[in-house]
Amino acid sequence: MEILLETNNLTIEYKNINKADKDSIRAVDNVSLKIIKGEIYALAGESGCGKSTLAKAVTKLVLPKSGDILFEGKSIYSHSRNEKKEYPKKVQMVFQNPYSSLNPKMKIYDILKEPLDINTKLKKPEKDELIEEVLAETGLQTDCLSLYPHEFSGGQRQRIAIARALILNPELLIADEPVSALDASIQAQIINLLKSLKYKRDLTILFISHDMNVIKYLADRVGIMYYGSLIEENYTGTIFRFPKEEYTKKLLSSVPVLK
């Protein structure tokens, strides 16, 4: 069992813009968790509990006040110059809204090629080959390459966002509410796609969602966050059958039962 990502006593605070209140908001409070290579780990909890902030810390978009994040056993804050360059390729992110996360002025071909242009020295035919590979893997046709994002449905756009995230062959994919903006039937397709990628690529996924139904179907393990703290964590089946915390029970009781 190889641990890919580990947070140790991670605490993240934001400056509070509303001065009438206290100076800072503690968005993540002393969170320690481990994500095992090849698993889908879901972070659940209601709006504002700190899920996205934790993801942002992993992608180095925010700095913690205290604590540490280890990736492949090494603190991401003590990276060498070369590791600093490699790390962003290993951790890729897919966001909730596929309408705003893709540049509307770029054709799909350029959207997929851009990460390769920035991060690799590959030649055009090699880049084209990788682009074709991720297209096939995410269920897109090659004729979509000459089109712009607005010519696609929400579900297809999310496939494009996933293809772009995969093009650099990351170790960890962070998907922050990737299906919340989609219709139920499209949600299922994207969830199945993520599940298949886990097996085909041995991809590790940090899946952020407040939808316990989706989590039940997709995740191997679940962590429940409440006001910045990780209050409970277990295998998905166990958490659904034997939730310990009252808050977890409440979250689960709001899940409609699907046959």
Ligand X SMILES: Nc1ncnc2c1ncn2[C@@H]1O[C@H](COP(=O)(O)OP(=O)(O)OP(=O)(O)O)[C@@H](O)[C@H]1O
* Identity of the residue, 45 or 115, whose beta carbon is nearer to ligand X in the bound complex: 45
- In this chain, which of 4, 5, 10, 27 binds ligand X, going by CB under 6 A? 27
Largest CA distance in the chain: 58
CB under 5 to 8 A by kind: which of ligand X, Mg ion, none does 209 bind? none
Pair 55, 206: CB distance under 8 Å = yes
Nearest to 51 by CA among 186, 231, 172, 198: 231
Pure H helices in the chain: 51-58, 81-90, 108-119, 124-137, 154-166, 184-201, 212-218, 236-241, 246-253
DSSP 36: E
Among positions 12, 13, 42, 52, the unique one binding Mg ion when judged by CB under 5 A? 52
Could you tell me which stretch among 13-21, 52-60, 161-169, 198-206 binds Mg ion (CB under 5 A)? 52-60
Cβ proximity to ligand X, 50 vs 149, nearer residue:
50
CB of 72 to ligand X, least distance (A): 25
Q: How far is the CB of 226 from ligand X (least distance, A)?
A: 10
Q: Choosing among ligand X, Mg ion, none, which partner's interface includes residue 27 (Cβ < 5 to 8 Å by kind)?
A: ligand X
Query: Hey, what are 20's tokens?
Result: 């009438």
Nearer to ligand X, 50 or 115 (CB): 50
CA 71-52-61 angle, 5° bins: 60
For every residue of 106-146, DSSP letters joined together read S-HHHHHHHHHHHH----HHHHHHHHHHHHHHTT--GGGGG
- In angstroms, give the least distance from the CB of 52 to Mg ion: 3
Looking at residues 179 to 218 of the shown chain, list those that interact with ligand X (rule: CB under 6 A).
Answer: 210
The nearer residue to Mg ion, 115 or 178, going by C-beta atoms, is 178
How far apart, in whole angstroms, are the C-alpha atoms of residue 158 and residue 108? 12
178 touching ligand X, by CB under 6 A: no
For ligand X, the binding residues (CB under 6 A) are 14, 25, 27, 45, 47-53, 210
For Mg ion, the binding residues (CB under 5 A) are 52
